[in-house]
Amino acid sequence: MDPIWIGVCGIGVMIVGLLASVPVAAALGIVSLVGMATIAGWQGALGMIAVASFNEATSYDFAAVALYIAIGAIAIECGMADFLFDALTKWFSRVRGGLMIATTMAAAFFGACSGSSIASCALFGKLAVPKMIKGGYDPSLATGCVAASGTLAVLIPPSGMLILYGILTQQSIGHLFMAGLLPGIINALLYCFGMYGISVIKPHLVPPSESFSLSERLSASRKAWPAPVIGIFIILSLYFGIATPTEIAGVGAFFCIVTAVAFTGLRGARLPQAMVETARQSAMILLIVIGAKMFGRFLAVSQVAPWLVNAIEATGLSKGWVMFLLIVMYGIMGCIVDALAMAVVSIPIVFPLVTALGFDPIWFGVILVQMVEIAVMTPPMGMNVFVTKSVVGDLASFGQVFRGTCIFLTADIILLALMLLFPQIVLFLPGRM
C-alpha cells in the first residue's frame, strides 16, 4: 500500500478515535505506532517510541511547562490569586460592571503567571461567580465572563499552548510569548469594553457594585502585588532576553514559593498539594507531546504533508483563501473535538503547508492559539464552559454559560480579523527582541 494512503488512513482513524472520546495521547500514539510499523516495520516503530519518549522527557524546553504550571498551582493553593481578585474588585467597584471587569483583569494577570486556561476558569468560577450572582448580576453574564476570561491565559505569556506549539514546530518560545502579548492585551480590553457596553445598554443585567473607600482599596492592594510582579517580571525578562523561558520560569516559581511561605506560612502555602497538581498536569501534557511527536514522525515518513502541499498548490488557490479555509476548518473542529486535541493533532499536518505557502510561523502560531481560544467557548465541546459549570454548580445551567460567552466570542472574532488584516499586531514585539 502506498505510504501516502497509509498516512491518510491514519489521520482518518485518529479523528474517529478522538470523536469516540479516546484519550488524545492514546489516539496519537496507537495510530502512529501501527502506521509506522506498516511502513517501516516494527523495529522502526518501536525505535520511534524510544526516541520520542526520551527526547521529550529530557527536553529543556518542556521543563518550562512544568514550572509555569507550578507557578499557577502555588498561586491558587496559597490564596495569592484571591488577594489579587479582592484588590481589583475594590478598585473597579465604582465602574459599571466593575465585578466583571475586575474578573477579566485578574484573569489576565493570573494568565501572565501560569498560562493555564482551565486553572483560571476553575479559580475565578469559585471566586467571582457567587459574588456576582449574589450582587444581582445576570447568571449568563457572570459565568460567561469567567469562561471567556480564562482564555486570556492562552494568549498572554507564558501561554502553555504557545509552549506546546514551539516544541512541536521548533520555533522560539520567547518570540512566541512576545507575539501573544499585544493580542492578549487587546483581547482583554475588548472584553472590558464589551462588558461595560452591556452594562450601559442593559443596566438591569448588571447592577451597581458596592463602593469602597481609598483606604480599603490600599489595604487590599498590600497583599495583591505578588501576582502582577511575577507576571511583569516574566514578560520583561522575555522581552529583554535576560534569560531563556525555562530559566525565567524557574526564577518565577522560586519567587512564588518564597512569597507564598512569607504570606501564609509553610502550612498555609499548601506546597505539597501544589506539587501534586503540577505533576499530574505535567505528566498528562508530556504524554500528549510524545504522542504528537510520534504522529509528526509518522506523517513525515508517509509523505502526507508534501503531498498535501502539492495538491493545494495544484488547485491554484491564493494564500488568503487557503488561510480562510484553514480557519473555517479549525472553527468546525473546535465544535466537535477537544481544543487541545485540535491543536496538537493538526500541527504536524498544517504546519508544513503554512510554511510552504510563506506564512510567518510565529504569526500562524498566535492565529492557531486564537482559534483554540474560540474553540474552548463554543458548544458542544467548549472546555472552559464545562469547567465553569462544574465549579458553579446549580448557580447556572450549561445553556446560560454558553449564552453568556456570545459577547466574548464576538470580541475574539474581532481580534482574529485584526490579526489577519494587520499581522504586525503579532509580529511587532518579536521583531524588536
CA distances from residue 282 to 10, 15, 64, 166, 276 in whole angstroms, order as listed: 27, 24, 10, 16, 10
User: Would you state the pLDDT for residue 331?
Assistant: 83
User: Would you state the pLDDT for residue 361?
Assistant: 93
Residues 6+ apart with CB under 8 A from 69: 114, 115, 116, 160, 277, 278, 281, 282
C-alpha grid cell for residue 236? 520583561
User: Would you state the pLDDT for residue 108?
Assistant: 85
Residue 277 to residue 55: CA distance in whole angstroms: 24
Instruction: Using alpha carbons only, give the angle 395, 396, 398 rounded to the nearest 5 degrees.
Output: 150
Cα dihedral 389, 183, 360, 54 in deg (nearest 10): -50
Q: Say how many residues make up the chain.
A: 433
Which residue range is the domain that position 21 belongs to?
Answer: 3-432
User: Would you state the pLDDT for residue 404?
Assistant: 83
For residue 180, how many C-alpha atoms fall within 13 Å in the half-sphere facing its CB? 35
Look up the pTM and report it: 0.85
Q: Within the chain, which residues score under 70 in pLDDT?
A: 1, 114-115, 380-381
User: Would you state the pLDDT for residue 333?
Assistant: 78
User: Would you state the pLDDT for residue 360?
Assistant: 93
Residue 9 to residue 35: CA distance in whole angstroms: 9
Number of domains in the chain: 1
Residues 6+ apart with CB under 8 A from 336: 19, 380, 381
Residue 95 to residue 211: CA distance in whole angstroms: 10
Quick check: 386 and 347 in contact, CB under 8 A? Answer: no
C-alpha grid cell for residue 123? 479559580
pLDDT tens figures, 244-299:
888 888 888 888 888 888 877 777 778 888 888 888 888 888 888 888 888 888 88
